[in-house]
Copies of this chain bind each other. A is one copy, B any other.
Amino acid sequence: MEIKNKEIVSAAKPSADQLALLKGKDILSAAQFTKEELDLIMETAAYYEKKVKDGEVLKDMEGKVMASLFFEPSTRTRLSFETAMSRLGGSVITVAESAKVQTSSTAKGETLYDSIRVIDLYADVIVVRSPQKGAADEAALAAENPVLNSGDGAGEHPTQALLDIYTILKERGDLKGLTVTLLGDLKHGRTVHSLIRLLSHFGCHIILVAPEKLRMPAEIVADVEKLGVDVKQTDNLSEAAAVSDVLYVTRIQKERFENEAEYDLVKNDFIVESELLKTAKEGIVIMHPLPRVNEITVDVDDYAGAAYFRQAGNGVPVRMALLALVKGCVR
């Protein structure tokens, strides 16, 4: 299956009116976006993806500095943001704390607020990852420059959800009328919580596949249904796969179960292997936010619709779009 790039993901430069939509804004939550803003982000991402593919040397962020503040490790997301800023011709300053090492400012007892107040005077745009829910909101209060939340503990990871939408649009050309299945630990996964909210803008059907204990929180389902979205819940993966255009896989962690026996009972019911693809809907797109452990077996990698690596790659144009849009620097 070839990667598509249909009308909805136009690669044309957005209009001046569109470009005003996100200028100066923070990117904190998947819940913040209007459909118009989502379309703008998707189009701008496609615009930049084409330019990079064509080998253009971009200067949209030349002379500008992005602070890449990762107070917990997330190599993939950090490198994706830093690549995005580099591709736009900008510079990066990095704090990449390792899991076992305290930040130097934390070690000295400084608050996040004070840290961000200062870094806001160095950089033009701030990317924050933190194990603390609400950290990005706190950073946004401290900073005059735009703050992009790249994961705040159990909170949000909006740029992941945006690249997920971008990936579906690229893989399928459109989202309207598609059936998208979310699989795995839907109770704790911030990724699927953010994603289902974004999906609700695009007129698709949603199936939720999870062990009973790890279902999507009822209030999120209710919110989405209120918007007129058709949501089905089941624990039968193969039935869902048989009618799905997109299967979005996330991990089920052993630690979520009371004992290993309980985990062993269900674990094999939610693994995606090439056997499953035989009865799945033709052309089904397999996605995963990565890293995967064993929830998608490696024999699936060769399947044309296995989109999870392309999906990760899509993080770069989507983050280029976000950086340039919040700074009003799309040229």
| Stretch in A103-111, A185-193, A274-282 touching the partner | A103-111
CB of A291 within 8 A of CB of B110, answer yes
List A residues 123-181 near B (Cβ within 8 Å): 123
Distance between Cα atoms of A52 and B91 in the complex (Å): 14
CB atoms of A122 and B57 under 8 A apart:
no
- A294: nearest chain-B partner, CB-CB: B109
Which residues of B have CB within 8 Å of A92?
86
Q: Which of B58, B73, B76, B98 contacts A118 (CB 8 A)?
A: B76
Q: How far is the CA of A173 from the CA of B285 in the complex (A)?
A: 59
CB nearest to A78 among chain B residues = B93
| Chain A 89-100 near chain B by CB (<8 Å), digits 1 or 0 | 101111101111
Task: Give CA–CA (A310, B103) in the complex, Å.
Answer: 22
> Could you tell me if B75 and A103 are in contact, using CB atoms closer than 8 angstroms?
yes
Q: Name A63's closest neighbour in chain B (CB-CB).
A: B57
Q: A110-B291, A122-B316, A313-B121 are in contact. Are A83 and B79 (CB under 8 A)?
A: no
Q: Contact between A75 and B291 (Cβ–Cβ < 8 Å)?
A: no
**Chain B residues, CB < 8 A from A97:** 98
Q: Please tell me if A62 contacts chain B, counting CB pairs below 8 Å.
A: yes
Size of A's binding interface in residues, CB under 8 A? 55
Give CA–CA (A74, B104) in the complex, Å: 6
Q: Please name 7 pairs of A and B residues whose Cβ atoms are closer than 8 Å in the assembled complex, sorted by A.
A: A58-B63, A76-B115, A98-B101, A98-B102, A109-B293, A115-B291, A118-B309
**B79 and A122 contact, CB distance less than 8 A:** yes
Set B73, B87, B109, B119: member contacting A104, Cβ < 8 A = B73
User: B99 and A75: CB pair below 8 A?
Assistant: no
The reply to whether A117 and B75 form a contact with Cβ atoms under 8 Å apart is no
- Tell me whether A110 and B290 are in contact in the complex, defined as CB-CB below 8 angstroms, given that A101-B99, A121-B313 are known contacts: yes
A115 to B75 alpha-carbon distance, docked (Å): 9
Residues of A49-63 contacting chain B, CB below 8 A: 55-58, 62-63
Task: Determine the chain B residues whose CB is within 8 A of the CB of A91 once the complex forms.
Answer: 83, 86-87
Contact A114 B310, CB 8 Å, known A122-B80, A122-B83 = no
Interface hub of A83, A118, A293, A309 (most chain B Cβ within 10 A): A118
Taking a contact as CB atoms under 8 Å apart, the answer to whether B75 and A63 are in contact is: no
The 3 tightest CB contacts between A and B, nearest first, are A121-B313, A73-B104, A86-B91
